[in-house]
Each structure stands twice: as structure tokens, then as C-alpha cells.
Amino acid sequence: MKLDATVRSAFEKAFPGEDFGFVRVTPATDPKFGDYQCNDALKIAKRLGMPPREVAAKVAANIDPSLKAEVAGPGFLNLTVSAAWLAAALADLAAKPGCGIPQNGAGKRVVIDYSSPNAAKQMHIGHIRSTVIGGALDRIFRALGYEVIADNHLGDWGTQFGILIKGYRECLSDDERANLTVAALEKCYVLSAAKAKADETWKDACRAELVKLQQGDADNLALWKRFIDISIGEFERMYAKLGVKFDTYRGESYYNDVMPGVVARLQEMGLAVESEGALVVNLEAEKLGVAIVRKSDGGYNYTTSDLACVKTRVEEYVPERIIYVTDARQQLHFKQWFSIAAKMGYTDVKLVHVPFGLMSYQGKAISTREGNLIRLDDLLTEAKRRALEIVQDRGGDEKLAEQIGYGAVKYSDLSHDPATDIDFSWDKALALEGNSGPYLQYAYARVCSLMAKAGADASGPSGGTFAVETPSEKRLALQLLEFPGAVVRAAEAYKPSVLADYLFQTAQLYSSFYQNSPILKSEAAVREARLGLCALFGRILRTGLNLLGIETPQHI
């Protein structure tokens, strides 16, 4: 924020020779303390050997009087900005591309590993969270200037493929085999797995197919490849609806050849030791238990695969960080292998796990047994159907119903802190009032129609003439200036919900501004100034919603 620099330089002038890089200005917690505050005089007072209030007073004396710096409490610095300062700050923000989102990530590369479903199964409601949270982080990091590699780490290897290959050959009709779908794969898996449970011969045959596949048998490899391609095709149909796009689909199988070398290295380093026939890394010292890196049957597991994967990603991409978006039940797995990776020397890369909580559906836990393991495709179809009911009275079409229905599903997830458990409810997701996707989309459409009536364009750059007079204008103006900060905080916390909260609050402040301030009927100068605020609000809302992967139709 620009004020950071202003106040920092006041610190520097008051106390030459000290480093004040840590100085930050934040919005005031209560308007009675002014508009902004800085509490850093308290941090530095001890080192300067001076009471904090005196430090603050010396700094205040070096701040331009138009910012009305005042010392309060034990040594807080409160700032009250003038109407002219606000107008200039708004014009400055409006003139910047991307509504002032700073390019903090320029020159830095990050890999984001998200969605990552298991192949040969249809995506269900449980897959929404990783896809939608990861997709929003992907967009936010790109907007901050990072080079993002969005990688879908498909579960595309493992014992299930023996069962599937056998099932495909013997449980499907010729027609099903010729026009293979993920639904048919799921069906033959269920049938084959049930037979394997009841019949030892069948089970052995499945295992034999798996061994053939692992040894590179051409027929089984070709079948496996076909299963994966069909799965990706089906997943991409969902991703298109959700507005998510991957740069690479490197599933677990991609790292098969890398795993033996990683395990050999762990042994050489003395990190992995034999235990009951398996090879394990002892992490008891960090209270992380014991991680198996090679099973007693000689096979590798999820830990080995993630270690091989990080080695490959680090060597190939040299990323500044890698972000993994998975459900919170995988926390121990990530803690374990992050620790092993650090011991192996992968310390230049920042490894981040973004865990998310469970999702229930209309108040009920999601489980196959409850019969509510809803397919993602069906959920999205239902979202569209319900949205169409809402928009068709207004002449809305299918395209609009998709924008609103899919937006509602996404926003209902993104408006919550990823770490919390959430409940998906149709009423809440599609509510036209309250913290919902449709509410924010309507707010955007309304500002567009206002701009159209005024003969201006909410999507273009605003005129740049700002004037801030009334309290509701001022509250909205201060809030609009926080947009770049909200995007930065969302990225730093790996929580798209920070941005969603910001947008919702902004829309509420806009709505009270709108109710209190006649616009089109005001005299020319006031009208122009207020339209300027409306246009900037519109741009910020659109930019912010798009960062969450939510479309912003101009007419609803």
C-alpha cells in the first residue's frame, strides 16, 4: 500500500540510519481511531531507548499534515485521510492495470497440484473442493505475476488396474467395450472387485493382469492407457464447466521409473532402514511416526510416489514453491514426506500443503452407503436446472443459467475457509441475498445496467475523476483501496475465502452507498464522481469474482 511507504519514510526521517522495512499501515479497526493505523512505534521503541508514545510523536511530526497523524493509547499512530488524498488514491488505483494487483510473483515459478482425482472413476461431489480451491489459487497466483504450472496428479496407477483389466475383458458387453465410458469402467470395476472377493481364482487372475501391466505387457499397457485417456476426457468435461484448466496431467505413473532411485538414495543416506521386511524412515523424533517407503512385497506407495514427484518437479521446473491442495485427512502423509524431502536436501523449494475440510450435502455426510455420493456432473446439471428456473422469468437463457448455477456451486465452497468442514445446501448456494455467488453476480449486473443508463461502460477504465464527500462514499472508497491487499492476503494464506469475504463486504458497502446516494439525478460533478466510484466498484468486483473462477454476466 502507498501509505506504507509514506509512513516508513516518516520513520526514516525521524530516526535516520535505522531499517524500517517492517513498517506496515493497516485499515483502522474502528472508525473512531481514524482511517488507518500503524502500531510499529511500539515494536521499535525498546531498541531506540525511548517511550513508544514519544517515538510515535516524532514520526507523526514527519507525516504530511493532510494525513492528520495522531498518537493514541500506548503509542499507536492513527491516520485520518482527507477527501483529496482519497480522490487521488482512487484515481491512482483506477489507472493501474488489473485494479492494482501487485506483481509480487514476477520471475517466480510455482507448481500447483490440485484436483488430482483417481482415474477410471467418475468425479463426485467430494472432488469439488480440491478442484475449486486449487483453481482459485491458480488464478490468484497468476494474477500476482507468478508463472504457474497447474499439474493434475491423477491417481493412475495401483492394484485397481488389475481388477479393471479383468473386469473390462469379462464383465462388459462388446458394445460397452467399443464405446467405453468412465461409467462403464466404474461398473466393471465394481463387478470385478466383488467377484475377486468371493472367488480366489478371479482374484489371482486380477493379480496376474496387474503383474503383466507392471512388467510392461503391451496389451495391458494399451488398455491402461485407454482407461486413462477416457478418464481425462471425462474429467476435462467437468473442468470446462468449472472453468479450470491444467498445464499437465502427470499422474502417479509418470514417476514409476524415478521411485527406485529415490529409495536407493534414502538407503545410501541412512535415512531408510529395513523393518519387518519393509523399508521405513523413522520420524519419531518429530512425532511423525514411521513412514514406509517400500512395502514388504517390494512395491512402492504414496509416500515414495510423492518423493519421486518432488524430485522430478524440482529438477525440471526449479519452482519457488509447490502447493498441494488435498483433503485434511492427508495431513500426516504430507508432513511425513515434506520432512523426508527436507532431509534429502530439497530445501530451496517451499512445500505447502493446503488441507481442506469435509463437505456434507444438505446436512448429511457424503457416503456411498447413504446413497448420496452424487456425481459431480449431476450436481452441476441440477445447479443449472435450478438457476434456469430463477433466470428464465427475466428472459435468461441456458448460458446464463450455467454462469449462475456453476458460479453458485463454486462460491458456496470458496466463501468458506478451506480448513473448515462445510455443508452444501441448495438454498444457501442459490440465495439471491446474503453471502452467495448469485448475490455478487447480481450486484455486478446491477452496476453494469446503471453504467449503461448513464451512458458509461463499467467494464472499461473509469473516467478517473473522483471526489469523496459523504460517509458512505468514504467507507466504500477506503474499502475499494483494499482490493490489492485482499488479493495478496488470499495468496499468502492460501485461502480464496479471504478474497470472497472482501468482495462480499465491498458489495455490502456499495449497496449502502447506493441507497444513500442519488447518482443519475445528481448535478453533473456529483454524478460524475459517484459514477466513478460505481465503475471502480464494478471493475473490482468483476476482477475479484473472475479470480475465484466465477463469471460475471452483464445482464441478469
Q: Which residues make up the interface to ligand ARG (CB under 6 A)?
A: 113, 116-118, 153, 155, 306, 309, 324, 326
The size of the chain, in residues, is 556
Residue 436: CB minimum distance to ligand ARG, A: 28
Task: Give the nearer residue to ligand ARG in terms of CB position, either 113 or 402.
Answer: 113
DSSP at 304? H
Contact between 424 and 418 (Cβ < 8 Å): no
Residue 515: CB minimum distance to ligand ARG, A: 46
Residue 46: CB minimum distance to ligand ARG, A: 45
- 406 vs 429: CA distance, rounded Å: 10
CA dihedral (395, 512, 541, 389) in degrees, to 10, reads: -20
Task: Give the nearer residue to ligand ARG in terms of CB position, either 166 or 353.
Answer: 353
Task: Give the nearer residue to ligand ARG in terms of CB position, either 309 or 480.
Answer: 309
- The residues that bridge with 248 in the sheet, in sequence order, are 151
Residue 284: CB minimum distance to ligand ARG, A: 23
Strand order in the sheet with 359-361: 364-365, 359-361, 422-424
Task: Give the nearer residue to ligand ARG in terms of CB position, either 154 or 451.
Answer: 154
Residue 373: CB minimum distance to ligand ARG, A: 14
Residue 153: CB minimum distance to ligand ARG, A: 4
- 87 vs 465: CA distance, rounded Å: 8
Report which of 155, 149, 124 is spatially closest to residue 137, judged by C-alpha positions: 149
Residue 442: CB minimum distance to ligand ARG, A: 35
Residue 158: CB minimum distance to ligand ARG, A: 10
Task: Give the nearer residue to ligand ARG in terms of CB position, either 116 or 472.
Answer: 116
- 48 vs 50: CA distance, rounded Å: 5
Sequence-ordered list of residues with C-beta below 8 angstroms from that of 274, at least 6 positions apart, any chain: 280
- 283 vs 525: CA distance, rounded Å: 68
- 529 vs 538: CA distance, rounded Å: 14
Task: Give the nearer residue to ligand ARG in terms of CB position, either 116 or 220.
Answer: 116
DSSP string, 158-170: STHHHHHHHHHHH
Contact between 126 and 507 (Cβ < 8 Å): no
Residue 118: CB minimum distance to ligand ARG, A: 5
* Residue owning grid cell 517511550: 51
Strand order in the sheet with 70-72: 26-27, 36-38, 76-79, 70-72
- 74 vs 343: CA distance, rounded Å: 45
DSSP at 124? B
Task: Give the nearer residue to ligand ARG in terms of CB position, either 37 or 303.
Answer: 303
Task: Give the nearer residue to ligand ARG in terms of CB position, either 129 or 530.
Answer: 129
Angle formed by the axes of helices 302-317 and 259-268, nearest 10°: 100
Residue 361 three-state SS: strand
Residue 334: CB minimum distance to ligand ARG, A: 8
Residue 555: CB minimum distance to ligand ARG, A: 39
Contact between 352 and 322 (Cβ < 8 Å): yes
Task: Give the nearer residue to ligand ARG in terms of CB position, either 326 or 517.
Answer: 326
- 80 vs 499: CA distance, rounded Å: 25
Question: Among the residues of 430-494, which ranges form H helices?
Answer: 437-453, 471-481, 483-493
- The residues that bridge with 361 in the sheet, in sequence order, are 364, 424
Task: Give the nearer residue to ligand ARG in terms of CB position, either 309 or 487.
Answer: 309
Contact between 466 and 99 (Cβ < 8 Å): no
Task: Give the nearer residue to ligand ARG in terms of CB position, either 134 or 167.
Answer: 134
Residue 352: CB minimum distance to ligand ARG, A: 12
Residue 269 three-state SS: coil
- 240 vs 402: CA distance, rounded Å: 11
- 136 vs 542: CA distance, rounded Å: 14
Report which of 380, 377, 368 is spatially closest to residue 183, judged by C-alpha positions: 377
Residue 427: CB minimum distance to ligand ARG, A: 29
Residue 504: CB minimum distance to ligand ARG, A: 30
Task: Give the nearer residue to ligand ARG in terms of CB position, either 302 or 426.
Answer: 302
Query: 404-418: buried (b, 16+ CB within 10 Å) or exposed (e) per residue?
Result: bbbbbbbbbbbbbeb
Task: Give the nearer residue to ligand ARG in terms of CB position, either 253 or 326.
Answer: 326
Task: Give the nearer residue to ligand ARG in terms of CB position, either 195 or 313.
Answer: 313
